[in-house]
Structure 1
Amino acid sequence: MQEESTKKKRITDKGIALAKAEHYCAYQERSQQEVRTKLYEWGLWTDAVEEIISELIINNFLNEERFAKAYSQGKFRMKGWGRIKIKQGLKFKGISENCIKKGLAIIDPEEYEQKLAEIIKKKSAVEKEKNELKRNYKIASYAISRGFEADLVWEKIKNF
């Protein structure tokens, strides 16, 4: 008996599914892949899913370029990610190369370098390594793992 109550109800009506999908997209920016996955979770068939996706695009609930810009800005400002990690995240979400470029273009180059300097400064303050070469390597590895370009990281560390 309890197993039945924990199972999610399947949505069979396309109108209800569209309304739920609109609410899902209105809550925050979503990629087509995220919405498609959610619609399949709700138990809809492929043709219904594609029709709903088309309807969401027509009604401007789904917009890949807008999603790429919001994702890029959010991950950069809130999480401190670099361009490489943001690009990987967008590719993982199924965003086109053109939209990825537009999303990354929204990041201000000066702000990007300031964020990198801030990350290097914070990591430098907590790094306990005494040997300067090892210390710089650890700091660079950390910044590179955050998605910043290696050449830019090493340049900043040299000038630090």
Structure 2
Amino acid sequence: MNSKVYTVEEATKKLEHYCSYQDRCHDEVIKKLKSLGMVPQAVDHIIVHLIEDNFLNEERFACSFARGKHNIKKWGKFRIENELKLRNISKYNITKALKEIPHETYIENFHLLAEKQWNSILENNPQKKKKKVSDYLLRKGWESYLVYDKMNELESA
């Protein structure tokens, strides 16, 4: 628990900075406010202020989260969707966020990642190699039909 006691104004300024530094979801902001020792009424008041002044926008958060996790961590749609669900993002915003990833880019990134992983695994047994690469791609949240088609393609190459 934080030893400093924050006024609503101080907490509001602190959270404006917290939200402008990086897009946040409502859950992160509520958790942060609770860690500052804010009472529920103050939390609600600050959340409303942050939304009205566009510091907090769940749709914007979901879209930037999806783009970032796909482009940087090479996550597939299942992983992105599950991570957004864990953050209590609405189905509407999850759907909108997944549309942020162009289909061509998505497929291209999948093939590049699969081939890079395939080439990095030093395994002589083709079945074991296939399993290792498949497991890796499935953990990253890629669709199973993509993974299995790619494994068959790489194995026969």
Bin the TM-score by the shorter chain: over 0.9
Tell me the distance in 2 between the aligned counterparts of 1:16 and 1:134.
57
Structure 2, unmatched stretches of 5+, are none
Q: What is the distance in 2 between the residues matched to 1:136 and 1:110? A: 25
Decide which of 46, 63, 66 is 1:52's aligned counterpart: 46
What is the total number of aligned residue pairs between the two structures?
154
Structure 1 residue 7 displacement after superposition: 5.4
TM-score w.r.t. the length of structure 1 is: 0.91
1:64 is aligned to 58
User: C-alpha displacement at 1:152, in angstroms?
Assistant: 1.2
Q: 8 Å contact 2:2–2:35 — kept in the other structure?
A: no
The structural deviation recorded for 1:130 is 1.7
Letter matched to residue 130 of structure 1: N
In structure 2, C-alpha distance between the alignment counterparts of 1:92 and 1:10, rounded to whole Å: 30
**Is structure 2 residue 134 aligned with structure 1 residue 140?**
yes
Q: Which runs of 4+ in 1 moved over 3 A?
A: none
The equivalent residue for 1:36 is 30
Q: 2:110 aligns with which of 87, 101, 116?
A: 116
Cα shift readout 1:91-136 (whole Å, capped 9, x = no counterpart): 1111111101111110111111111111111111121222222222
Which range moved further: 35-44 or 90-99? 90-99
Give yes or no for the alignment of 1:83 onto 2:64.
no
Shift in CA distance, 98/7, structure 1 to aligned 2, threshold 3 Å? closer
**What do you get for the CA RMSD once the two structures are aligned?**
1.4
- Matched with 1:3 is none
Matched, 1:156 2:133: no
Superposition TM-score, scaled by structure 2 size? 0.92
Matched, 1:104 2:101: no
Query: Aligned partners of 1:102 and 1:79: how far apart in 2?
Result: 20
